[in-house]
Amino acid sequence: MFFVSMLFLVMLFLVLFLVGIGFKLTGALLAGIFWTVIQIPLGIAAMAIGLVLCCTIILLPIGIGCMKMGFRLVVPGI
């Protein structure tokens, strides 16, 4: 009986371990797709808008802020 319960626990651990690895890989894949499809285009658009706003003296601080925001979207972790 002890052997059967230990075998059950080991099999349960292996199944849950593989499910956990599957969730981690799926999350990493979805995060990469989100970054590529959404964050990069929005970051480039924010930098372009910031560049246009920097052409006027009055809107220069807002343009610099837009460019910083766009750069942070394209290069996460800064």
Q: Where are the domains of the chain?
A: 2-74
Q: Tens digit of pLDDT for each residue in 18-73?
A: 998 988 999 889 988 988 899 999 999 999 999 999 998 888 999 999 999 999 98
Distance CA 13, CA 6 (A): 10
pLDDT value for 56 = 87
Is the predicted pLDDT of residue 78 greater than 90, yes or no? no
Tell me the three state secondary structure of residue 13: helix
What does the pLDDT read at residue 5? Answer: 87
pLDDT at 77 over 80: no
**31: three-class secondary structure by DSSP:** helix
Contact 52, 63 (CB under 8 A): yes
